[in-house]
Structure 1
Amino acid sequence: MKSRIVLLYFLINASSLLAQNKPDFWWKRNNLRVIQMNLPAYEAATINADSIVADLVACSANTLLINAGGIMAFYPSQLDFHYRNPYLKDNNVLADIVRKCHSNSIKVIVRFDFSRVHESIFKAHPDWCYISPKGERIINTDMYVVSINAPYVQEKAFKIIEEVINTFPIDGIFLNMPGYQVNNPYEGKYHGIDQNAYDQKRFAEFSGGKALPTEENKADPLFQQYLEFKKTTVEDWSERLHKLVKSKNEQIAICTYSDKFVDIIRHESQSMTTLPYWPYTASDNVGNAVNSFPDHIISNASIQQISFQSRYNAVEPEETRIRLYENIANGSGLDMSMMGDMRGYEDERSYPVFRKVYGFHKKNEAYFGKYQSVAQIAVIAPGAWPNGEPMQEYRGIQLMLREAHIPFDIVEDGQIANLEQQVKGYKLIILPEITYLKPEAIRILKEACQQGTHLIATNRTLFDSPETLQALFGAKIEKKDNDGAGNYLVPDDRSIFKSFKGQSMLFWKFNLGLYDLSGADRKLLPVLAKGRPGPPEIIGGHDPTGYYALGIKNHPNSKAALFPINLGRIYYMHGYQEHKNLLLDMIHHMLPEIAQNFQTNAPVRVETVLKTFTRNTPENQSKNTPDGQILHLINLTGFSGNTYFEPLPVNDLQFRIRLAKKPQKVFTLTNHKPLNFTWKDGTLSLSLARLAEFESIVMEW
């Protein structure tokens, strides 16, 4: 008996000792306030460590991201294959910056870009560089794009990183433009799949002797194998880098845009080049990443430049402010990227925004960064960087939910298989034109549906898996691509479609798939024919076509609804409320309780983000039990569709929120003043007299 007690005592104390000795990685606090100074070569002649640190301190920044090497060395590199910045005069400037940042408790992440080499390196080693199927190089002035499988990236890049780590006591490395390069983004030109001899050899080894494809054709099995080859080779390089860096110092954070062998996933809020503009870019980016990669720290950068062609003009301060507040609300720290240092910057209009928002975060960081979701709905994202029509469909669905103040999570489509229990925990999953899912992800969705998770899918979702469409939705595709301009939909069942008083026909455009919904339990939204276009005297003829725009299949514990139409895209592009109401009415039909969980009279241009929080303090690093809930309010009333103005103040906002237990106190973070509230039957009721640009309401247990 005594021996068992001694053994138990030893095990308890050993586990406690291991927990105490677990490395306390600095980035795990998730309280980053990053300022990135993307230095043009010529600024190496004028940068000054004292002024840089003074500007960082004035902005309450706690992390600097600054150039080190790759395209060119911003320090006196001793490597003959590492092109040295010709403007560099002070050989000690980077060392001084790191030292003086550290003396002010500011971490330093250094930037590497191994996507290009100087012309002098190219002339000595042309075999290191990219070559297109047409024999073209990708060139920006005197910089040549490299091939990832050639010796520069596979060998020399590691020596450059090792030299920097051995020379400077850095806190992190950031990799810009990692992976395969097929575009010249600075000129907007696509060049094609790299045909470098090293790529040819490595792909032949990978594929059993096959030649590289020359066209990106997803229907081509060879191209699909090439995609797997790219993934494998990038992950191999990333793993080797991780081993090198951590062997030098495990406290050096690795930061880039991917998730494998990375400590900090970086994303970017960039200015839009096409209408409609998207004011939720930071909420979109961070919401996607924090839910898809819950074991990583996310840092979403507000990119200040208008475009690659307009680097010296920054986005409007009001847009910057929205991005930064959305970062805070969704669980990222703060991150801003600018051209050059802050002295003599060509567009300083956002400086007061940086100082204000970064200072607010510093003052209240105990309430930020350790969040858990309260959402019962998940929207599946088409990748980390959606584009094209799938992006429009995805954003339109988001827009409907955000304007209705319905909490939801975003989960990247490729991560479903890695998040099985999380996915199965949602009451409703929305698939906005998610055209392809891996077999494992499909299995998880089917099991979630059987266990009680409702599904809503739109447009061409799962078109390449007929068996899944039939099993989940009772649908067969007759014609998935069909121009719906001129057709009408009839909101027929008013027990579901309660939002259409005064309307009997809903106009349509964009895609309207023609599906056989005979396997569904209900067919709704009859599709009317295009009729007779022309002058008023001859119009009409909108007769039923026999097709429907909604099918609902009943499962033992859930429902699965399919809208084979561009429901999200039409709202994203045109914003007619009738199309939003189709989705909202369907959600309330499936989850009638959703309306009781969160209620507010806030205008649609007030973004609401509700989370549970754990106080983010050093002593709470391993604590996961929540300390309460926090409601973030971001005022977007200054966004007019294509311009950003100062937001209009909003008065007398009312909220009713279902909470797990009664809060002990409720207060605002902008002034730390208490708010009066009432508590009845598990529901908190409170009011906010005035919302300016942003507010966080803390409900502390």
Structure 2
Amino acid sequence: MIRFSALICLLLYAFTLPAQESADQDFWWKRNNLRVIQMNLPAYEAATINADSIVEDLVNFSANTLLINAGGIMAFYPTKLDFHYTNPYMKNNVLGDVVKKCHEKNIRVIVRFDFSRVHESIFKAHPDWCYISPKGERIINTDMYVVSINAPYVQEKAFKIIEEVIDTFPIDGIFLNMPGYQVNNPYEGKYHGIDQNDFDKKRFAEYSGGKTLPTEENKADPLYQQYLEFKKVTVEDWSEKLHKLVKAKNPQIAICTYSDKFVDIIRHESQSMTTLPYWPYSASDNVGNAVNSFPNHVISNASIQQISFQSRYNAVEPQEVQIRLYENIANGSGLDMSMMGDMRGYEDERNYGVFKKVYAFHKKHEPYFGKYKSLAKIAVIAPGAWPNGDPMQEYRGIQLMLREAHIPFDIVEDGQIENLAEKIKNYQLLILPEITYLKPEAIKILKEASANGTNLIATNRSFFDSPEILMQLFGAKIDKKDNDGAGNYLIPDKREIFKSFKGQSMIFWKFNLGMYDLSAADQKFLPILTKGRPGPPEIIGGHEPTGYYAMGIKNHPKSKAIIFPENLGKIYYMHGYQEHKKLLLDAIRYVLPEVSETFLTNAPARIETILKEFTKNTVSNKNKQTSDGLILHLINLTGFSGNTYFEPLPVFDLDFKIKSDKKPQKVFTLTDEKPVKFTWTNGVVNLKINKLEDFNSIVIE
């Protein structure tokens, strides 16, 4: 039963919405048509912001959702709570005016909370609420102190702050910034260690049966593994409490943050990179991962304007932002951007033209976005939602090969396999790039998928800690997991498989090249040669067979499982030599020769192609499951040079062959709304695009 007060709130809220939407829509965010602008306000801007100018800018930029500061680190409204530090620049009713005037223009307002820090005055009154490192250090940014998640501020006072805001303003959503455990000072790039606050110690002892909180992050330590589970349980417990509080107040308030449990909108971020190579597929990666891993959630991937925490007032290049926004649309997210301050007097306005163009495009053609179904028969398993290090490079390299070859694929997070069993079993091929650990439930699903006909490709150190799985699925046994492959060569020996190596008999290697016993595999490929003799040209040579192979295939009754015990993805991600991409593509075509049947094109590698089945995203279609056709998104990345972004070059005469069981009634482009000539023969649509500028969407109804 809904509490009476919550019911009253919901009825009052419904009167503030457009009549059709309040009647037909269950929850406003479920339309998946977000066009968010986040104004991350520095304290001093609270003195100058103006509700009328904010709303005018939002309307001018076709935004339908504002994300703006409310509380946590400091209150941007007149709080009555003595433990909630008030922004000294705050004007009394500015947040109320912003919410009221946004609603007058049918713009939703999500308010931002950050409970990771408290002001020095709060710290001095309650030092026991705050983080303390194993060395006795605090994490401090000027006069803000990092708190402990298990201390009273987060466990009790944060809920009071949220409750006060909900009771004061008719908000549409709350966004939680920096939730969870804090061990780093990200603004200064410094690691401090596991929080040793007394409240953390006490709660971990209760959870673990009296054990002492670990002081070091050692994955080999069973105590640390138990601590990781403890963190997960306690964060989810807090999230559940928040969910109950908010939904009791008003079920129409959306909860948005970076996790998935007890959340309505999962937020992700496309950020600038500080190391090369840059990753132009950031938004496709983030959204593709989230929409397939959490199909019951709405995803909002934010284009972060700032170059870095140290360079907040300088924005990334407009061409990079343009790619991010178009990739959001193409993969099933709405639009989202985050900037410092409001839009007036902004220090770097170069991206304004891009925002205005893409947001207006999304608004005009809204029915063709946000209600998609994938056609991919291949899935890449992602090493988490925020991968880093070697697994990230391996994962991105595999993605890069597929995207450049225009092979449709989904992304599924490794931790979600057990929750998506039927989805996983329906893929024809799963690629596991350095997936070193899976839960037993996930491994069971992989085995079942393999038995039912799903092919597997694993690379580098995948399953290194599960020798029985390596043997059962791949017929592989590790002799040497870590081995510097610089100087070694591979031989693409079986030309019935390796058809792409005309004129080449040896393939150089770099990075990890595992030495695996593949004697239990049914086929062994790519003999590994020794490093040979280094030195001047007169003495080089001496590359002899090692007896090891860089690829093995295990035949199962209905499928094949391939293992590449080397950094196949990383070497391509870092260096981009085509020969390494060809190894994977030839292997895919060997186990899945029908891979080109769904989609074939002559488009250059730097044209990103994303094909989806769509249902028109209208209020009246909210429960419709049948398809209205196909939509092909083309994103022009030719302006990306590897370390900067230029305007994309126009591309001409693009041909496409797209599998479609039904004959299209019409084909047209969204960008210029012109018909496209096509033929339909033997279940295949043939069409040509004469010219591609920066982006286009081809609708096949």
Q: Using structure 1 for the length normalisation, give the TM-score.
A: 0.97
Q: How does 1:614-625 map to 2 (within 5 A)?
A: 614-625=615-626
Paired residue for 1:579? 580
Paired residue for 1:32? 34
RMSD: 0.8
Paired residue for 1:637? 638
1:105 aligns with 2:106: yes
Look up the SS of the partner of 1:166 in the other structure: helix
Paired residue for 1:66? 68
Q: Which of these residues, 74, 77, 90, is aligned with residue 75 of structure 1?
A: 77
Paired residue for 2:690? 689
Look up the SS of the partner of 1:68 in the other structure: strand
Residues 156-209 of structure 1, C-alpha deviation per residue, up to 9 Å, x if partnerless?
Answer: 000000000000000000000000000000000000000000000000000000
The answer to whether the 8 A contact 2:478-2:517 is kept is yes
Paired amino acid for 1:307? S
Paired residue for 2:227? 226
Deviation at 1:596, TM superposition (A): 2.4
User: Compared with structure 1, are the counterparts of its residues 604 and 23 closer, same or farther at alpha carbon in structure 2 (3 Å cutoff)?
Assistant: closer
Q: Distance in 1 between matches of 2:669 and 2:493?
A: 45
Q: Distance in 2 between matches of 1:622 and 1:138?
A: 49
1:448 aligns with 2:449: yes
Deviation at 1:647, TM superposition (A): 0.4
Paired residue for 1:324? 325
Residues 628-678 of structure 1, C-alpha deviation per residue, up to 9 Å, x if partnerless?
Answer: 010000000000000000000001100001112111110000111110000
Paired residue for 1:386? 387
Paired amino acid for 2:286? N
Q: Distance in 2 between matches of 1:669 and 1:532?
A: 59
Q: Distance in 2 between matches of 1:203 and 1:154?
A: 15
The answer to whether the 8 A contact 2:522-2:554 is kept is yes
Paired residue for 2:427? 426
Q: Which of these residues, 36, 42, 45, is aligned with residue 44 of structure 2?
A: 42
Paired amino acid for 1:177? M
Paired amino acid for 2:606? R
Q: Distance in 1 between matches of 2:658 and 2:545?
A: 43
Look up the SS of the partner of 1:537 in the other structure: helix
1:134 aligns with 2:135: yes
Q: How does 1:235-254 map to 2 (within 5 A)?
A: 235-254=236-255
Residues 302-330 of structure 1, C-alpha deviation per residue, up to 9 Å, x if partnerless?
Answer: 00000000000000000000000000000
Paired residue for 1:200? 201
Q: How does 1:481-630 map to 2 (within 5 A)?
A: 481-630=482-631
Paired residue for 1:403? 404
Paired residue for 1:149? 150
Look up the SS of the partner of 2:365 in the other structure: helix
Q: Distance in 2 between matches of 1:651 and 1:22?
A: 44
Aligned pairs, number: 680
Compare 634-643 and 657-666 and name the one that shifted more.
Answer: 657-666
Q: How does 1:249-268 map to 2 (within 5 A)?
A: 249-268=250-269
Q: Distance in 2 between matches of 1:22 and 1:171?
A: 17
Deviation at 1:441, TM superposition (A): 0.4
Q: Distance in 1 between matches of 2:255 and 2:452?
A: 39
Unaligned runs of 5+ in 2: 1-21
Paired amino acid for 1:687? K
Q: Distance in 1 between matches of 2:389 and 2:664?
A: 45
Residues 394-430 of structure 1, C-alpha deviation per residue, up to 9 Å, x if partnerless?
Answer: 0000000000000000000000000000000000000
Look up the SS of the partner of 2:307 in the other structure: strand
Deviation at 1:597, TM superposition (A): 1.9
Q: Distance in 2 between matches of 1:166 and 1:28?
A: 24
Deviation at 1:512, TM superposition (A): 0.3
The answer to whether the 8 A contact 2:81-2:161 is kept is yes
Q: Distance in 2 between matches of 1:138 and 1:448?
A: 47
Deviation at 1:595, TM superposition (A): 1.7
Q: Distance in 1 between matches of 2:623 and 2:349?
A: 40
Look up the SS of the partner of 2:537 in the other structure: coil
| Moved beyond 6 Å, runs of 4+ | 20-23
Paired residue for 2:678? 677
Look up the SS of the partner of 1:400 in the other structure: helix
Deviation at 1:116, TM superposition (A): 0.1
Look up the SS of the partner of 2:363 in the other structure: helix
Unaligned runs of 5+ in 1: 1-19
Q: Distance in 1 between matches of 2:685 and 2:352?
A: 38
Compare 381-390 and 655-664 and name the one that shifted more.
Answer: 655-664
The answer to whether the 8 A contact 2:25-2:619 is kept is no
Q: How does 1:347-358 map to 2 (within 5 A)?
A: 347-358=348-359
Paired residue for 2:17? none
Deviation at 1:22, TM superposition (A): 9.0
Look up the SS of the partner of 1:686 in the other structure: strand
Paired residue for 1:57? 59
Look up the SS of the partner of 2:608 in the other structure: strand
Look up the SS of the partner of 2:448 in the other structure: helix
Deviation at 1:376, TM superposition (A): 0.3
Paired amino acid for 2:422? Q
Compare 23-32 and 159-168 and name the one that shifted more.
Answer: 23-32
Residues 369-398 of structure 1, C-alpha deviation per residue, up to 9 Å, x if partnerless?
Answer: 000000000000000000001000000000
Paired residue for 2:121? 120
Paired amino acid for 1:194? D
The answer to whether the 8 A contact 2:24-2:620 is kept is no
Look up the SS of the partner of 2:532 in the other structure: coil
Paired amino acid for 2:320? E
Compare 590-599 and 110-119 and name the one that shifted more.
Answer: 590-599
The answer to whether the 8 A contact 2:614-2:629 is kept is yes
Look up the SS of the partner of 1:523 in the other structure: strand
The answer to whether the 8 A contact 2:37-2:63 is kept is yes
Deviation at 1:23, TM superposition (A): 6.5
Look up the SS of the partner of 2:403 in the other structure: helix
Look up the SS of the partner of 1:552 in the other structure: strand
Look up the SS of the partner of 1:588 in the other structure: helix
Paired amino acid for 1:233? T
Q: Distance in 1 between matches of 2:93 and 2:483?
A: 64
Q: Distance in 1 between matches of 2:303 and 2:59?
A: 19
The answer to whether the 8 A contact 2:667-2:678 is kept is yes
Q: Distance in 2 between matches of 1:653 and 1:584?
A: 22
Q: Distance in 2 between matches of 1:363 and 1:153?
A: 42
Deviation at 1:523, TM superposition (A): 0.5
Q: Distance in 2 between matches of 1:436 and 1:676?
A: 49
Q: Distance in 2 between matches of 1:213 and 1:621?
A: 49
Paired residue for 1:12? none
Deviation at 1:21, TM superposition (A): 8.9
Q: Using structure 2 for the length normalisation, give the TM-score.
A: 0.97
User: Compared with structure 1, are the counterparts of its residues 698 and 23 closer, same or farther at alpha carbon in structure 2 (3 Å cutoff)?
Assistant: closer
Paired amino acid for 1:43? E
Paired amino acid for 2:33? N
Paired amino acid for 1:607? E
Paired amino acid for 1:69? G
Q: Distance in 2 between matches of 1:641 and 1:193?
A: 37
